[in-house]
């Protein structure tokens, strides 16, 4: 009888400890177009965020950051662009714009990007990307 009671106590303790386990925050998050539409993501302070968006600068369109709280997410340098492989003799192939951020402060920010031609003033972007980031 003593073994059964001991076993039950151990099971109850394991269940209780499982409920106390903290969820770990992501310290390195990579997101893309499919993650847009106002979704919210949690990021650990000190972590990094990478946003990759497809585009084609040979058309004049580029992705530009429109909003962000730099006290929460600080851009880690200028964006990079990597062209997709192109068949021989083909020009004007698209590629990927990559933006990197460092989570420097606890808080929330809405990160927005627009895809438009920089010289076309008062013309809405043809695409946009936005999401919410909570740094904890």
Structural domains for the chain? 24-135 (2.60.40.2020)
* Global pTM value: 0.77
Residue 80: pLDDT over 80: yes
Question: pLDDT tens digits for 47-78?
Answer: 999 999 999 999 999 999 998 888 999 999 89
**Res 117: pLDDT:** 96
The full 3-state SS of the chain, as one line of letters, equals CHHHHHHHHHHHHHHHHHHHCCCCCCCEEEEEHHHCCCCEEEECCCCEEEEEEEECHHHCCEEEEEECCCCCEEECCCCEEEECCCCCCCCCCCEEEEEEEEECCCEEEEEEEEEECCCCCCCCCCEEEEEEEEEC
**According to the model, what pLDDT value does residue 123 have?**
94
81-122 pLDDT, tens digit per residue, is 999 998 888 878 899 999 999 999 999 999 999 999 999 999
């Amino acid at each position: 009888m003593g073994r059964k009671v001991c076993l039950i106590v151990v099971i109850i303790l394991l269940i209780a400890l499982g409920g106390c386990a903290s969820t770990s925050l992501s310290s390195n998050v990579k997101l893309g177009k499919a993650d847009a539409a106002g979704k919210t993501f949690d990021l650990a302070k000190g972590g990094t965020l990478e946003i990759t968006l497809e585009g084609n600068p040979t058309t004049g369109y580029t992705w530009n950051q429109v909003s962000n709280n730099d006290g929460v997410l600080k851009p880690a340098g200028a964006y990079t662009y990597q062209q997709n492989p192109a068949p021989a003799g083909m020009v004007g192939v698209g590629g990927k714009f990559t933006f990197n951020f460092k989570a420097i402060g606890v808080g929330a920010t809405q990160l927005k990007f627009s895809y438009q031609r920089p010289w076309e003033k008062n013309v809405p972007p043809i695409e946009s990307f936005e999401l919410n980031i909570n740094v904890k």
